[in-house]
Amino acid sequence: MLMEEITTKEFNELKHTIKTVIIPVGSIEAHGPHLPLATDLYTIYEICKLVAKEIKVLIAPPIYYGLCRSTKDMPGTISIKGEVLKIFLLNIISEFYRQDFKNFFILSGHAGITHHAYLIDAAEIFIEKHRDAKFFVANIYELLVPILREISISEKDSHAGEWETSLILYFKPELVKNEAFEDYPNFPKFRVVAEKEKYWSSGIWGNPLKASKNKGKILAEKLAGILINYIKALEKE
Protein backbone atom coordinates (compact mmCIF):
# COMPACT_ATOMS: atom_id res chain seq x y z
CA MET A 1 0.00 0.00 0.00
CA LEU A 2 1.39 3.38 -1.00
CA MET A 3 0.77 5.81 1.84
CA GLU A 4 0.68 8.81 -0.48
CA GLU A 5 -2.37 7.42 -2.27
CA ILE A 6 -4.65 6.71 0.69
CA THR A 7 -6.95 8.86 2.82
CA THR A 8 -6.69 9.54 6.53
CA LYS A 9 -9.62 7.18 7.14
CA GLU A 10 -7.95 4.39 5.16
CA PHE A 11 -4.70 4.99 7.00
CA ASN A 12 -6.43 4.73 10.37
CA GLU A 13 -7.98 1.41 9.38
CA LEU A 14 -4.83 0.00 7.81
CA LYS A 15 -2.59 0.65 10.79
CA HIS A 16 -4.53 -2.02 12.70
CA THR A 17 -3.69 -4.69 10.13
CA ILE A 18 -0.30 -3.61 8.74
CA LYS A 19 2.75 -4.15 10.93
CA THR A 20 5.64 -2.92 8.79
CA VAL A 21 6.57 0.41 7.24
CA ILE A 22 9.09 0.54 4.39
CA ILE A 23 10.94 3.82 3.95
CA PRO A 24 12.59 3.95 0.49
CA VAL A 25 15.66 6.20 0.28
CA GLY A 26 17.32 7.30 -2.93
CA SER A 27 19.54 10.07 -4.21
CA ILE A 28 19.63 12.68 -6.91
CA GLU A 29 22.95 11.81 -8.44
CA ALA A 30 24.84 11.62 -11.73
CA HIS A 31 24.49 8.17 -13.28
CA GLY A 32 26.45 8.54 -16.47
CA PRO A 33 25.07 9.93 -19.74
CA HIS A 34 22.47 7.15 -20.06
CA LEU A 35 20.53 6.98 -16.77
CA PRO A 36 18.28 9.49 -14.96
CA LEU A 37 19.47 11.40 -11.91
CA ALA A 38 16.85 9.70 -9.73
CA THR A 39 18.00 6.18 -10.66
CA ASP A 40 18.69 5.22 -7.04
CA LEU A 41 15.19 6.27 -6.01
CA TYR A 42 13.41 4.64 -8.95
CA THR A 43 15.05 1.23 -8.49
CA ILE A 44 14.31 0.76 -4.81
CA TYR A 45 10.88 2.40 -4.89
CA GLU A 46 9.66 0.21 -7.74
CA ILE A 47 10.94 -2.90 -5.99
CA CYS A 48 9.08 -1.83 -2.84
CA LYS A 49 5.92 -1.59 -4.94
CA LEU A 50 6.44 -5.20 -6.08
CA VAL A 51 6.72 -6.24 -2.43
CA ALA A 52 3.48 -4.41 -1.58
CA LYS A 53 1.62 -6.37 -4.26
CA GLU A 54 2.42 -9.62 -2.47
CA ILE A 55 2.16 -8.82 1.25
CA LYS A 56 0.56 -6.21 3.48
CA VAL A 57 3.09 -3.45 4.10
CA LEU A 58 2.91 0.31 4.14
CA ILE A 59 5.26 2.06 1.71
CA ALA A 60 6.14 5.51 3.02
CA PRO A 61 6.62 8.39 0.58
CA PRO A 62 10.27 8.09 -0.49
CA ILE A 63 13.22 10.24 0.49
CA TYR A 64 14.64 11.45 -2.81
CA TYR A 65 17.89 12.93 -1.51
CA GLY A 66 20.98 11.27 -0.08
CA LEU A 67 24.62 11.83 0.73
CA CYS A 68 26.65 11.55 -2.49
CA ARG A 69 30.39 11.69 -1.92
CA SER A 70 32.18 10.37 -5.02
CA THR A 71 29.82 12.01 -7.52
CA LYS A 72 29.33 15.26 -5.64
CA ASP A 73 31.06 17.45 -8.23
CA MET A 74 29.30 15.90 -11.22
CA PRO A 75 26.53 17.88 -12.97
CA GLY A 76 23.11 17.13 -11.52
CA THR A 77 24.20 15.60 -8.21
CA ILE A 78 22.36 17.21 -5.30
CA SER A 79 23.95 15.86 -2.13
CA ILE A 80 22.79 16.54 1.41
CA LYS A 81 24.85 16.40 4.59
CA GLY A 82 24.81 13.13 6.48
CA GLU A 83 23.56 14.79 9.66
CA VAL A 84 20.66 16.32 7.74
CA LEU A 85 19.75 12.91 6.33
CA LYS A 86 19.96 11.29 9.76
CA ILE A 87 17.84 13.93 11.52
CA PHE A 88 15.24 13.88 8.74
CA LEU A 89 15.00 10.09 8.84
CA LEU A 90 14.77 10.10 12.64
CA ASN A 91 11.89 12.58 12.42
CA ILE A 92 10.04 10.35 9.94
CA ILE A 93 10.59 7.24 12.06
CA SER A 94 9.39 9.08 15.18
CA GLU A 95 6.18 10.11 13.45
CA PHE A 96 5.39 6.58 12.29
CA TYR A 97 6.15 5.29 15.78
CA ARG A 98 3.73 7.89 17.17
CA GLN A 99 1.14 6.39 14.82
CA ASP A 100 1.78 2.95 16.43
CA PHE A 101 4.14 1.45 13.84
CA LYS A 102 7.15 -0.38 15.28
CA ASN A 103 8.64 -2.38 12.39
CA PHE A 104 10.82 -0.36 10.04
CA PHE A 105 12.50 -1.38 6.81
CA ILE A 106 14.86 1.37 5.62
CA LEU A 107 15.81 0.44 2.07
CA SER A 108 18.25 2.54 0.10
CA GLY A 109 18.72 2.51 -3.65
CA HIS A 110 21.89 4.51 -3.08
CA ALA A 111 24.71 2.27 -1.89
CA GLY A 112 27.29 4.87 -0.85
CA ILE A 113 29.12 3.68 2.27
CA THR A 114 28.97 7.01 4.09
CA HIS A 115 25.30 7.50 3.17
CA HIS A 116 24.49 4.01 4.44
CA ALA A 117 26.30 4.62 7.74
CA TYR A 118 24.01 7.57 8.52
CA LEU A 119 20.92 5.43 7.89
CA ILE A 120 22.20 2.83 10.33
CA ASP A 121 23.06 5.55 12.84
CA ALA A 122 19.50 6.88 12.72
CA ALA A 123 18.16 3.41 13.52
CA GLU A 124 20.72 2.97 16.33
CA ILE A 125 19.79 6.29 17.93
CA PHE A 126 16.06 5.53 17.77
CA ILE A 127 16.30 2.00 19.11
CA GLU A 128 18.31 3.14 22.14
CA LYS A 129 15.23 4.99 23.36
CA HIS A 130 12.56 2.70 21.94
CA ARG A 131 13.52 -0.91 22.60
CA ASP A 132 10.28 -2.24 21.16
CA ALA A 133 11.10 -0.93 17.68
CA LYS A 134 12.58 -3.29 15.09
CA PHE A 135 14.81 -2.21 12.21
CA PHE A 136 16.07 -3.65 8.96
CA VAL A 137 18.51 -1.33 7.17
CA ALA A 138 20.00 -2.34 3.82
CA ASN A 139 21.06 -0.92 0.48
CA ILE A 140 20.16 -2.39 -2.87
CA TYR A 141 23.67 -3.52 -3.79
CA GLU A 142 24.28 -5.65 -0.69
CA LEU A 143 20.86 -7.25 -1.15
CA LEU A 144 21.56 -7.98 -4.82
CA VAL A 145 25.01 -9.59 -4.46
CA PRO A 146 23.78 -13.22 -4.29
CA ILE A 147 21.46 -12.62 -7.26
CA LEU A 148 24.28 -11.07 -9.30
CA ARG A 149 26.25 -14.27 -8.86
CA GLU A 150 23.29 -16.33 -10.09
CA ILE A 151 23.02 -14.46 -13.39
CA SER A 152 26.77 -13.95 -13.88
CA ILE A 153 26.95 -10.20 -13.32
CA SER A 154 30.34 -9.19 -11.93
CA GLU A 155 30.36 -8.06 -8.31
CA LYS A 156 32.69 -5.29 -9.49
CA ASP A 157 29.79 -3.91 -11.50
CA SER A 158 28.18 -1.10 -9.56
CA HIS A 159 27.03 2.46 -10.18
CA ALA A 160 25.22 2.95 -13.53
CA GLY A 161 26.63 -0.38 -14.69
CA GLU A 162 25.02 -3.60 -15.87
CA TRP A 163 22.63 -4.35 -13.01
CA GLU A 164 21.49 -0.78 -12.35
CA THR A 165 20.93 -0.08 -16.03
CA SER A 166 19.03 -3.37 -16.33
CA LEU A 167 16.67 -2.34 -13.53
CA ILE A 168 15.94 1.03 -15.14
CA LEU A 169 15.42 -0.67 -18.52
CA TYR A 170 12.79 -2.79 -16.79
CA PHE A 171 11.09 -0.11 -14.68
CA LYS A 172 11.61 3.11 -16.68
CA PRO A 173 12.83 2.19 -20.20
CA GLU A 174 11.75 5.54 -21.62
CA LEU A 175 14.35 7.29 -19.43
CA VAL A 176 17.38 5.29 -20.65
CA LYS A 177 19.52 7.05 -23.26
CA ASN A 178 21.60 5.27 -25.88
CA GLU A 179 24.88 6.77 -24.64
CA ALA A 180 26.22 4.06 -22.34
CA PHE A 181 29.82 2.84 -22.27
CA GLU A 182 32.00 0.78 -19.95
CA ASP A 183 34.06 2.64 -17.38
CA TYR A 184 35.43 2.40 -13.83
CA PRO A 185 36.71 4.86 -11.22
CA ASN A 186 40.40 5.03 -10.43
CA PHE A 187 40.56 6.52 -6.94
CA PRO A 188 43.92 6.07 -5.19
CA LYS A 189 43.61 3.47 -2.43
CA PHE A 190 42.86 4.81 1.08
CA ARG A 191 42.92 8.41 -0.16
CA VAL A 192 40.26 11.05 0.35
CA VAL A 193 40.67 13.43 -2.57
CA ALA A 194 39.24 16.86 -3.37
CA GLU A 195 39.31 16.56 -7.17
CA LYS A 196 37.10 13.50 -7.46
CA GLU A 197 36.31 14.08 -11.14
CA LYS A 198 40.03 13.60 -11.85
CA TYR A 199 39.66 9.94 -10.91
CA TRP A 200 36.05 9.34 -11.97
CA SER A 201 34.60 11.63 -14.61
CA SER A 202 31.90 9.47 -16.20
CA GLY A 203 29.74 8.39 -13.25
CA ILE A 204 29.80 4.82 -14.62
CA TRP A 205 31.16 1.92 -12.58
CA GLY A 206 30.79 -1.21 -14.68
CA ASN A 207 29.53 -2.20 -18.10
CA PRO A 208 26.00 -0.98 -18.87
CA LEU A 209 26.36 -2.28 -22.44
CA LYS A 210 25.59 -5.76 -21.06
CA ALA A 211 22.34 -4.59 -19.49
CA SER A 212 18.92 -5.84 -20.59
CA LYS A 213 15.29 -5.47 -19.63
CA ASN A 214 15.07 -9.22 -18.97
CA LYS A 215 17.97 -9.08 -16.50
CA GLY A 216 16.22 -6.17 -14.79
CA LYS A 217 13.03 -8.23 -14.47
CA ILE A 218 14.91 -11.15 -12.94
CA LEU A 219 16.77 -8.89 -10.50
CA ALA A 220 13.62 -7.05 -9.45
CA GLU A 221 11.49 -10.12 -8.90
CA LYS A 222 14.17 -12.04 -7.03
CA LEU A 223 14.98 -9.05 -4.81
CA ALA A 224 11.29 -8.52 -4.03
CA GLY A 225 11.12 -12.17 -2.99
CA ILE A 226 14.13 -11.80 -0.70
CA LEU A 227 12.62 -8.72 0.96
CA ILE A 228 9.28 -10.46 1.46
CA ASN A 229 11.05 -13.25 3.33
CA TYR A 230 12.92 -10.76 5.53
CA ILE A 231 9.69 -8.91 6.32
CA LYS A 232 7.84 -12.11 7.23
CA ALA A 233 10.71 -13.20 9.47
CA LEU A 234 10.84 -9.87 11.29
CA GLU A 235 7.07 -9.81 11.80
CA LYS A 236 7.17 -13.29 13.36
CA GLU A 237 9.61 -12.21 16.08
Instruction: State the DSSP string of 8-53.
Output: HHHHHHHTTT--EEEEEE--B---TTTS-TTHHHHHHHHHHHHHHH
Query: What local confidence, expressed as pLDDT, does residue 30 receive?
Result: 97
Give the closest residue to 106 by CA, choosing from 192, 187, 20, 180: 20
Summarize the confidence of residues 57-72 as an average pLDDT: 96
Domain count, the chain: 1
Identify the band that residue 20 occupies on the pLDDT scale cut at 50, 70 and 90.
Answer: very high
Query: What local confidence, expressed as pLDDT, does residue 186 receive?
Result: 87
Mark out the alpha helices in the chain (DSSP H runs): 8-14, 39-54, 82-98, 113-129, 140-150, 162-171, 213-236
Query: What local confidence, expressed as pLDDT, does residue 194 receive?
Result: 83
| pLDDT higher than threshold 90 for residue 155 | no
User: What is the per-residue pLDDT across 78-129, written as a single tens digit (0 to 9) for each?
Assistant: 999 999 999 999 999 999 999 999 999 999 999 999 999 999 999 999 999 9
Identify the band that residue 195 occupies on the pLDDT scale cut at 50, 70 and 90.
Answer: confident
Query: What local confidence, expressed as pLDDT, does residue 43 receive?
Result: 98
Q: pLDDT above 70 covers what percent of the chain? A: 100
| pLDDT higher than threshold 90 for residue 198 | no
Query: What local confidence, expressed as pLDDT, does residue 141 receive?
Result: 95
Query: Worst-scoring range by mean pLDDT, 11-20, 55-64, 93-102?
Result: 11-20
Cα–Cα distances in Å, from 176 out to 24, 99, 163, 231?
22, 39, 13, 31
Does the model's pTM come out above 0.85? Answer: yes
Domain CATH code at residue 174: 3.40.50.10310
Q: Which domain holds residue 92?
A: 3-236
Identify the band that residue 3 occupies on the pLDDT scale cut at 50, 70 and 90.
Answer: very high
Summary mean pLDDT of the chain: 96
Cα–Cα distances in Å, from 85 out to 102, 108, 126, 173, 174?
20, 12, 14, 29, 30
